[in-house]
Chains A and B, each alone.
Chain A
Amino acid sequence: MKNLLNLRDKTIYFDKYLFISISLLSIMGLVFLYSASQANTVVVFKQSIFVLFGLLLMFFLSQPDPDFYKSNSLIFFAISIVLIVLTLLIGKEANGAKRWLDFGFFTLQSSEIIKITLPVFLAAYLYDKKLPISLLNTFITLIVILIIVNLVRIQPDLGTSLVILMSGIYILFLAGLSWKFIGFSSIAFILSLPFIWNNFLEPFQQQRTLTLLDPSADPYGTGWNITQSKIAIGSGGLQGKGYQMGSQAHLDFLPETETDFIFSVIAEEFGFIGVCLLLAVFIFILLRCLYLALNARDRFCRLTIGGLSLIFLSTVLINLSMVVGIIPVVGMPLPFVSKGGSSLLSFYIAFGIIISMASHKKLMQK
């Protein structure tokens, strides 16, 4: 708590590159959302509130010293688990899934919170362990990860549970998971794929995967989304059809234009040039994160920055790969661009923590 006193010292912890690029991305997101929502001002207004609140949240979360996160990571993690369990018990049900906790003014998708607290907790757990990570610690970590992943998976929410799985594995890997273990478990994973297919995937998830292999075989069924998304992106061409001129988006051929498929709208209206500009911003953020991770003050900060930035990177890539049909359709927003509450805020939180880790120098070094 003493680190908050830094505010009184008028030291502001801040990373202008990340702050500017994320603000830029958020504003671009609002512009895209206006078109993707068929010029729905209510949607855009709500999103603006989230963006503003998110930026403020990010700023405040970057002020505490990393040690604050390290020492309190268990508390945050425990709260997240309680929220997840509460969701399963009294969550709001929609489309056959229980993913949300209703707070009246805000519905919280609890899995979005644990996506951040889990890697921070694991980083705090692993930062002082010897290299390579012992088998015991590896198993403890994996068990924790799998419990959380399964709690989310049974909501059901395959997309987020995969991201949570990845976030845990990233920390474990970056912390120095033994290569021997990686080799053995990879073989075991490949061998167990049929088992996973049969026991862990819902029929609609299997169908989505099959559709990916040949979307045209079923253009009006499960392949409809991918087909329409490809048409939208492809017909954008080099320069795009112009802002708010995308026929695929505006005549309802594209599904989920405000969330999962917002990239298709951007690609249709701004073309390949627009796509490259958007990607440039993402790549800038990611390279900045890479730089900050490599130059972090200690192992805990390194692990946290690396893990959180990889979650961001994975989310972006999953979304992009989904809309062009590289992977099956899993519900996954494009960070800072798609409409959303919890998922949007979770990334502001993540970057708040990243900036905190990057901007605080070790006191004893002074």
Chain B
Amino acid sequence: MINLEERLSEKKSFFNRLIIVYIFFAGLFLYFLYKTFLLQISSYTDYEIASLENKTREVLVQPRRGIIYDRYGNILVNNVPSFNLIINPSSIENINDHLNQINQIIDLTEDEENYAKENFSRLAQLNRELVLKKNLSIDERSKFKVRKYKFPNTFIDERYSRENLYPFLFSHSLGYTGNPEESDLEEIFLNQNLKPKEIIFSYSNGYLIGKTGLEYTYDEYIRGRFGKKIFEVDASGKFLNELEVVDEVHGKDLFTSLDLESQKVAYEQLNRRRGAVVAVDINTGAIVTYLSSPSFSVNKIANGMTQKEFNFLINDDDKPFFDRAAQGRYSPASTIKPAIALFGIENNIIDWEFTLDDPGYFILPEDGRIYRGWKKGGHGNINLNDAIIESSNTFFFSLAYKSEIEDLTKHLSNFGFGEIVCLDCFLPDSGLLPNPSWKMNNLNFGWFKGDTVNLGVGQGYMSATPIQLAYYASFLANKGELNKFSFVQNIGNKEIKKNIFLNNNIDESDWLKLHESMIGVIENPKGTAGRLRALKDYTIAAKSGTVELVSTEKKEDYKIIREIEGQRDHAIIIAFGPMPNPKYAVSVVIENGESGGSVAGPVAIEVLNALLKR
């Protein structure tokens, strides 16, 4: 037993010890409270988001891509639903075995099998789906359905494929679509405030973006916006119920100024020859016909072609992928003459009464070099009107000779040469408008007077694309004012400043006289394109040209070189009509077509016929 004193000291000791323990635990309690405060108050937002992300899953809903129409409301590009046989490459080990098994149920063509084998490993790496076969019939679908359990990584799903109704007609103008790259998707998702997570990527299978042409230029307009469905999920990932739906916004339809009928005519007329046709509405700058030939099937490209098919197109000497209309560089040749004529009048070098004796050649005074015309013996004593109708080289050699090169190039740039003339074309080329500094920088040679003389007939260094030639023709037709070209007029800022050709020296009567001369190219018995007269029942102004690829001294020499097709002259024509109030302008280039008037000319007339028939 313990005595009273001890009992008191025991009580005090107990007191102290219990208080110590309580204080210790009070500290822990406070620490716990502090931790809870941190969780619930300071980091509330983070945990709130974490809890939301925990319980929700986003599923993307793809928008429908806009339909593309021609100017009369004909559908050019549509979305076609099809039931596709799709595999998930990343979970399939041996593609050959898998294809063999599939083949026992659904017949795959050799092309389809090759396509699958070629793209298998790439898509497996990206964890994307691979479409084995499109457009399954009801028969095939039901056949697969009953054996579905055998193929856990294969499924049938409805997908929209992009279908150009005229796949060869609009290859270069409308372009094609394809699967987006990872970086494209990321950008699209960010634009639409979607978090680019891998989960979301998997819902974008089958999504298409424009790769070339208008499909590319107006991609943002016609692609629409993804919708999404937000589901509540439990810890096992099971979808419980739909919490929120954000509707997808379908892409807007694209109404182009293209004209289906004239395009068909242009395609038939060119008949897979190498060349280009561009026709425009001169009042608006709207492109109505746009053909680069030969062309290729955009549907094949967009919906998957085998490497063999692709290689065949790539290695084709006619280069079908090359957009000759916007990127092909051709010398304008004699078609440049009306622009040179205007320069002469503008600078008082000549007037409509001025005459010149054309012996069939021009001698450069500086070094005695001879520049020949196309007609042996020349055109005799001619004025400007005759020089255009008969396409006298001597007249324009002489005129160019009297010109300052800097002034002349500045003048020509007004007609669109050396400039980008189209607002929504896919990768247009600006051609080449040469000047002394260009020559020094690029060829390391000074500018010769002879270079200016050559420019007078559109030969030499100068080159222009067919669309620039069409712009030039429209500019002439519209008497110096013109909108920049476009395929689509009602989207974006197409309030284009009018390119007003201001000069006191050129007035209405000069324009009219120039038009008369160009009408004479067809209507005058001496005109270089007289053969076109019979092809139409209205009046057309035109100027033909023949691009010499190999310079020759004599006609006999040309007969030898033309044995090789690639050395034959290019045929060019620009035309506009109907006169006197022109509506359309057209340019036609046919590579190695030899005669602008008789080879390119009929194509231009047929296209104008088609356009004016409406």
Contact = CB atoms under 8 A, between A and B. Distances in A.
B564 interface: no
B49 to A, nearest CB: 8
A235 B49 CA distance: 8
Nearest to A268: B51
B47 to A, nearest CB: 3
B48 A237 contact: yes
A251 B40 contact: no
Interface string A229-267: 011111111100000000110011100000000000001
A303 B1 CA distance: 17
Most chain A Cβ neighbours within 10 Å, of B17, B35, B36, B40? B40
A128 B7 CA distance: 10
Interface string A275-313: 110010001001000100110000100110010001001
Nearest to B40: A272
Task: Report the 7 A-B pairs with minimum CB-CB distance, sorted nearest first.
Answer: A234-B47, A235-B51, A252-B235, A234-B39, A251-B234, A272-B40, A247-B55
Contact of A238 (B1, B17, B28, B41): B41
A72 B50 CA distance: 55
Interface in A44-84: none
Given A279-B33, A294-B18, A236 B40 contact: yes
Interface residues of B, number: 42
A10 interface: no
A130 B2 CA distance: 7
A321 B234 contact: no
B311 interface: no
B9 to A, nearest CB: 7
**DSSP class of A's interface residues: helix, strand, loop or mixed?**
helix
A230 B14 contact: no
Most chain B Cβ neighbours within 10 Å, of A234, A247, A320? A234
A251 B25 contact: no
B35 A231 contact: no
Most chain A Cβ neighbours within 10 Å, of B14, B21, B234? B14
B40 A233 contact: yes
A275 B35 CA distance: 12
A326 B35 contact: yes
B40 A275 contact: yes
Interface of B: 1-2, 6-7, 9-11, 13-15, 17-18, 21-22, 25, 28-29, 31-33, 35-37, 39-41, 43-44, 46-48, 50-52, 54-55, 232-236, 240
Given A176-B10, A231-B47, A233-B40, A253 B32 contact: no
Contacts of A293: 18
B40 A238 contact: yes
A234 B2 contact: no
A175 B13 CA distance: 8
A232 B33 CA distance: 16
Contacts of B48: 234-235, 237
Contact of A247 (B11, B41, B54): B54
Given A235-B48, A279-B33, A290-B22, A299 B10 contact: yes
Nearest to A255: B235
Contact of B44 (A170, A237, A290, A324): A237
Nearest to A240: B40
Given A294-B15, A299-B14, 6 more contacts: A130-B6, A233-B36, A233-B47, A234-B47, A253-B55, A325-B35
